[in-house]
Chain A
Amino acid sequence: MFVTSAYAQTAPAATDPHAAPAGEVHTETGAAHGGEHGGGVFPPFDSTHFSSQLLWLVITFGLFYLLMKKVIVPRVGGILEHRHDRIAQDLDEAARLKAEADAAVETYEKELASARSKANSIAETAREAAKTKAAADRTAIEAELAAKLSAAEARIGEIKTAAFAQVGQIAEETASAVVDQLIGAKATGDDIKAAVAAAKTEA
């Protein structure tokens, strides 16, 4: 109120011919309205302030533009570029590490495969060796067993013939003892031998 009424006093001095009727309107519509429309125009269209508005806009916006152009835009642009570079660099680093890891995996796989094939061949030769050794052992044992068997058979044959040879003698002795008991006379050796031999052939 104070500011605008003070302004209302200065305004008519500036635009004297138009302000006079406006001043009359003020007295009719009251002090409150009079204070508002000091220049008699809608404030945004009040051309008395245009020069000052323009000057200060040029000063402030010009300063702002210079500050943006010289300081802020290069700075923010630098920050963003630095970040992009950093991200790109990190991505490159990650790609490089991934390639390294892939290569390591590949060599590992290769080594694993070669080790596996080597192990297979070792196992194979071991198995072969074991098989041949087992076969040789078996043939040796079989041969030994066959030899033992044939020796045992020969011994059995020997014992058998020996036993058969003794059978005649025992029969003769038994026959002479039986004849002696039955008829009380000694039978001669030759008779008994002949009789045993006859019985043997009969059997």
Chain B
Amino acid sequence: MSNDPIHQFQISKIVPIEVGGIDFSFTNASLFMVATVACAAGFLYFATSQRGLIPGRAQSVAEMSYEFIAGMLREGAGSHGMKFFPFVFSLFMFVLTANLLGMFPYFYTITSQIIVTFALAVLVIGTVVVYGFYKHGTHFLQIFVPSGVPGILLPLVSTIEVISFLSRPISLSVRLFANMLAGHITLKVFAGFVASLGTMGALGIGGAVLPLIMTVALTGLEFLVAFLQAYVFAVLTCMYLNDAVHPGGH
């Protein structure tokens, strides 16, 4: 059972809660959502509590992530997009911390749950749609009508644009979810080889070295993926927000 690579995604209830027939239990996934928020917020809070003119190591990291996201958002959505900075920063820090916490053995990876990543993606697209219509009204629909397209092609292009827009929450959520899920399964499978080969005598222990090396290499790769997927999630969020801020601007 401990070798089952799927077991790590199993949700178990810690405090069963049910309201109106709907299950709102506090599960291990909920616990790690709380842990993610506590880690990220606690780190950012205590790292910046000194407000040093010359930053220490922790404060440097906090400032670096701030400026990293600020630069990304300014580049992606312009200075008008900066009002979304707290949102993008929260998304990035949440996803990054969740991914990194998932790298600890026995920790739950909440970003490997499609419902979590889908909810975040819908939040992003929902923000784009709501802000786009609120700010530009029907003018927002210009994102489906690229400028400079001949009239004959316009229905086709607009259809493609609509499909591409609708597929955004799916691609955004599945990308993060699939990366985290596949990475953790692969890691678990190779680690499982080490354990099962190790019980097969001297030859088995010799043979277990290869999957062990693989596991170590994959762990490094997974840390990279954890950063990269948080980055990609934030970059795409910036790009989508750009549509809400400048609907005719592409």
Seen from chain A, the residues whose Cβ lies within 8 Å of a Cβ on chain B are 1, 3-4, 7, 32-33, 35-38, 42-46, 48-61, 63-65, 67-69, 71-73, 75-80, 82-83, 86
* Interface pairs (23), CB distance under 8 Å: A42-B6, A44-B9, A44-B115, A44-B177, A49-B11, A54-B119, A56-B24, A56-B33, A56-B34, A57-B115, A61-B37, A72-B45, A72-B62, A73-B85, A73-B89, A75-B48, A75-B51, A77-B66, A78-B51, A79-B55, A82-B51, A82-B53, A83-B53
CA separation between A78 and B50, bound complex, in Å? 12
* Residues in A whose Cβ lies below 8 Å from that of B13: 7
CA separation between A77 and B86, bound complex, in Å? 11
* Residues in B whose Cβ lies below 8 Å from that of A60: 30, 33-34, 36-37
Given A44-B177, A55-B24, A56-B33, answer yes or no on A64-B63 (Cβ-Cβ < 8 Å). no
Nearest opposing residue in chain B for A51, CB measure: B22
* B137 to A: closest C-beta gap in Å: 26
* B35 to A: closest C-beta gap in Å: 9
The answer to whether B145 has its CB under 8 Å from any CB of chain A is no
Verify B34–A36 contact, CB threshold 8 A. no
Verify B10–A36 contact, CB threshold 8 A. yes
* Residues in A whose Cβ lies below 8 Å from that of B12: 3-4, 7
Known: A68-B86, A79-B63. 20 other contacts (CB 8 A): A3-B12, A36-B1, A36-B10, A46-B11, A49-B11, A49-B27, A50-B115, A52-B29, A52-B30, A53-B29, A56-B24, A56-B27, A59-B33, A60-B30, A61-B33, A61-B90, A64-B37, A73-B89, A79-B48, A79-B59
* Residues in A whose Cβ lies below 8 Å from that of B59: 79
Verify A72–B37 contact, CB threshold 8 A. no
* Residues in B whose Cβ lies below 8 Å from that of A42: 6, 9
The answer to whether B195 has its CB under 8 Å from any CB of chain A is no
* Residues in B whose Cβ lies below 8 Å from that of A64: 36-37, 40-41, 90, 93-94
* Residues in A whose Cβ lies below 8 Å from that of B37: 60-61, 63-64, 67
* B98 to A: closest C-beta gap in Å: 10
| Complex interface bits, B56-94 against A, C-beta within 8 A gives 1, otherwise 0 | 000100110011000000000000000001110110011
* A68 to B: closest C-beta gap in Å: 4
Seen from chain B, the residues whose Cβ lies within 8 Å of a Cβ on chain A are 1, 4, 6-7, 9-13, 17, 22-27, 29-30, 33-34, 36-37, 40-41, 44-45, 48, 51-53, 55, 59, 62-63, 66-67, 85-87, 89-90, 93-94, 110, 112-116, 119-120, 123, 177, 181
* A52 to B: closest C-beta gap in Å: 5
CA separation between A32 and B7, bound complex, in Å? 11
Main secondary structure of the interface of A (DSSP, over half): helix
Given A32-B1, A36-B7, A75-B51, answer yes or no on A61-B94 (Cβ-Cβ < 8 Å). yes
* A74 to B: closest C-beta gap in Å: 9
Given A44-B9, A64-B40, A72-B45, answer yes or no on A56-B30 (Cβ-Cβ < 8 Å). yes
Nearest opposing residue in chain A for B30, CB measure: A56
For B4, give its contact among A32, A51, A67, A80 (CB under 8 Å): A32
Nearest opposing residue in chain B for A4, CB measure: B10
* Residues in A whose Cβ lies below 8 Å from that of B45: 67, 71-72
* Residues in B whose Cβ lies below 8 Å from that of A49: 11, 23, 25, 27, 29, 115
* A137 to B: closest C-beta gap in Å: 77
* Residues in A whose Cβ lies below 8 Å from that of B1: 1, 4, 32, 35-36
Residue of A46, A72, A73 ringed by the most chain B CB atoms within 10 A: A72
* Residues in A whose Cβ lies below 8 Å from that of B177: 44
CA separation between A46 and B93, bound complex, in Å? 26
* A57 to B: closest C-beta gap in Å: 5
CA separation between A82 and B51, bound complex, in Å? 10
Verify B94–A53 contact, CB threshold 8 A. no
Verify A52–B25 contact, CB threshold 8 A. yes
* Residues in B whose Cβ lies below 8 Å from that of A68: 41, 44, 86, 89-90, 93
Residue of A46, A53, A58, A65 ringed by the most chain B CB atoms within 10 A: A53
* Residues in B whose Cβ lies below 8 Å from that of A38: 10
* A5 to B: closest C-beta gap in Å: 10
Given A4-B12, A36-B10, answer yes or no on A76-B90 (Cβ-Cβ < 8 Å). no
